[in-house]
Structure 1
Amino acid sequence: MSLPTTNSPDTTLDSLGSAAARATLRAHPSRGYVQIEPPVEPMPRLSKELGGAVELFVKRDDLLPLAGGGSKTRKLDYLVQQALDSGADTLVTCGAVQSNHCRLTASAAAREGLGCHLVLEERVAGSYSPEAGGNNYVFGLLGAKTQVVPLGGVDAAVAALMEELKAAGATPYYIPGGGSNALGALGYARAAISVVEEARKAGRPFDAVVLCSGSGGTHAGMLTGMRACGDQTKVYGVSVRFDAAKQKSRIEAQYKECAKLFGNEAPEEDVVIIDSQVGPGYSLPTPEMRSAVEAFAKLEGILLDPVYTGKGAAGLLQLVREGAFQPGARVLFLHTGGAPSLFHYQPVPE
């Protein structure tokens, strides 16, 4: 399978594309949570374990600021700034019962001195426990107030909560699940631009990027930023919840909205979804996820989470084993964080 690369015969055009993309970013104020880009690290032992034909790398967004790190810090960089600019004194958001996004939103609220309300959706019946560890424990530690709703109950609960807060004199700002809208996705457009610039500077572009595809802002933002730089590297989104058709439709919609901010098109063929790792459903374990979590830990000393990055990494390993990449290909895995939930789920048996 032949993959497109970032090689371009005209480096001047590359530079101009990158400069124009960064100019678009500067037009949207951010809070400054991301001051230093997390490293891109090689994974030589994992590469060797998989036969050594493909060079694997990892972008360590699990090392980003705010409590416990992770991808949502990039999105909140823009969303929290907008909240403050609008005069908000309270952040409201939603997520699953072990939501990394909710943890980081609560962390940002604590840092900014804002109130924080979390609507937690019990996507798997019986999966919520007030005594649970992991992210669920951290919500309260950070001072957030939580309420739990059944699957499909988020919209009504959020609408009622917003009205209740306004009636009490608060000024709430609603952040969608995962921080996934066009503004939040700018955080990953910025990440993509940095990845492209670093690879070009080194003279060794990546041949593919593999990432988790969940609420969609990370996936859409990475595509937007790379294409804004003129980079056509293929991006594989490993779905953690929906089948390929549904997830592709969701990502395409966000991609179009984010790309508009850069004045670009969003070709549907850019959105590639791998749905083989969803398993029995969102947050439910699979043997492949367990194997990937164990491999990253034992071979590279990197902790994944079982809901997102564990399944994303399982997708990466599947692609390598099935020969999706040419020999010598350089493949980047985007580690979007989530390790705190690992201590709740404990997916790898002793």
Structure 2
Amino acid sequence: MNSASPHHFDLSKFPRHALLEGPTPIQHLARLSARLGGADIYVKREDLTGLGGGGNKLRKLEFLIGEALERGADTIITVGARQSNHARLTAAAAARVGLQCELVLTRTVPRSDHDYMENGNVLLDALFDARVHDLPGAANALQFAEERANELRAQGRNVYVCPLGGSSPVGCLGYADCAAEIVAQSQAQNVAFDRIVVPNGSGGMHAGLVAGLVALGLDPSRIAAFTVYGNAGHARTVTLEKANQTVRLIDPGLSVSDDDISIDEAQLGPGYGIPTDNMRAAVRLMASTEGLLLDPVYSGKAFAGLVEDVSTGKYSAGQKILFVMSGGLPGLFAYRNEF
């Protein structure tokens, strides 16, 4: 880490289009902390972003949209599951900046009820005037997106293709920046966090935070993730690769080691987007004690892991834990029958 300037790095060389209103707040969850006993729990409110219903993907999209606009794109295409938060926010960001948007959505989750198929994020995709391509779960969405992009290019369009979750190295810069934001807020509030807990889906948020801490000369192993997409081994491999690609964009002399990546698969359950009893209990607990709404796919499962860790004494009294609440509220409406 020697080639990084302590507690500072510069992202100004990367194209960026502002989509956030400013730093998202860090709040102490006093009632919840008292209810669980032990550690003090804080939350980073990534749901409190105004555009498109809010959520963590907007940080990535600031850099992705910035790059698309710099390249003169008139159309953006991205991929995701039927209820993808990233797809919904890509559509919203595209509407904000005047790009055409196409979403390649796969039926990855084994659900076909009306709420899942037509409510939640899918309803909002339509309101943002995105064109949706509905593919089977086994389809190669990114290949379809590239082929569709080539069709549009043949018609004279300039198309920018965005990967799953916006988790390209450029997209992950948004969470490297967030790491610096957390450090600044921690210093301003005089609170030193012993752990930062996040969900890990496509791995971009986790990878970006790790890359950011490495670039700041700080210990990235304090970040603990719960995978919600694949097993821990796969998630670790993907996250480590993305973290290294991201940190090298910031400083080619830096790297991330396997020991810097902490991922737990205990809350994954039967698989991505499939509800668990622990998730339902965690969503209800957060709502009933703090009035905050977690999504059922990402933060719901990750918060269930945090609750279990606090309840079983993994964290001692007085330790301070920051939970990154990723947003995804529309997903609750898609999973109405689960609650």
Q: Same fold (TM over 0.5)?
A: yes
Residue 56 in structure 1 maps to residue 41 in structure 2 = yes
Residue 5 of structure 1 corresponds to: none
Question: Which aligned pairs between 1:1-350 and structure 2 lie closer than 5 A?
Answer: 16-19=5-8, 21=9, 23=10, 25-51=11-37, 53-127=38-112, 132-153=118-139, 154-232=141-219, 234-263=222-251, 264-346=254-336, 349=339
**What is the total number of aligned residue pairs between the two structures?**
332
**SS, match of residue 102 in structure 2:** strand
Letter matched to residue 294 of structure 1 = R
Supply the distance in 2 between the matched residues of 1:164 and 1:128 (Cα, whole angstroms).
33
CA shift at 1:348, angstroms?
5.1
Q: TM-score, normalised by structure 1?
A: 0.91
The code of the aligned residue for 1:210 comes to V
Q: Deviations over 1:36-56 (max 9, x none)?
A: 1010000011111111x2000
Displacement of 1:18 after TM fit? 2.1
Q: Give the drift of 1:324.
A: 2.0
Q: CA–CA distance in 1 between the matches of 2:172 and 2:14?
A: 12
Partners of 2:196 and 2:50 lie apart in 1 by 23
Whole-angstrom distance in 2 between the partners of 1:232 and 1:131: 42
- Sort the Cα spacing of 1:128 and 1:75 in 2 relative to 1 into closer, same or farther, 3 A: farther
Cα deviations across residues 179-211 of structure 1 (Å, max 9, x unaligned)? 001110110111110111221233321000000
Q: Secondary structure at the match of 1:127?
A: coil
Write the distance in 2 (CA, Å) between the matches of 1:131 and 1:57. Answer: 34
Letter of the aligned partner of 1:58 in structure 2? V
Give the letter aligned to residue 181 of structure 1: S
Once the two structures are superposed, residues 55-108 of structure 1 have per-residue CA deviations (whole angstroms, 9 ceiling, x without a partner) of 000000101131110011000000001001101000100001000000000001
| Alpha-carbon offset, residue 164 of structure 1 | 1.4
The answer on whether the counterparts of 1:196 and 1:231 sit within 8 Å (CA) in structure 2 is: no
Among all aligned residue pairs of Structure 1 and Structure 2, give the percentage whose two residues are the same amino acid: 38
The change in CA–CA distance for 1:127 and 1:253 in structure 2 (over 3 A counts) is: farther
CA RMSD of aligned residues (A): 1.7
State which drifts further: 225-234 or 108-117. 225-234
> Hey, what's the Cα distance between the residues in 2 that align with 1:75 and 1:126?
28
Q: Once structures 1 and 2 are overlaid, which stretch shifts more, 125-134 or 314-323?
A: 125-134
Q: Runs of 5+ in structure 2 lacking a partner?
A: none
**SS of corresponding position for 2:50:** coil
Q: Aligned partners of 1:192 and 1:54: how far apart in 2?
A: 22
**2:303 partner letter:** A
2:20 alignment partner, SS class: coil
**Contact 1:109–1:116 (CA<8 Å) still a contact in 2?**
yes
- Gap runs ≥5 in structure 1: 1-12
Contact 1:18-1:193 within 8 A present in 2 as well = yes
Which SS does the other structure have where 1:247 is aligned? helix
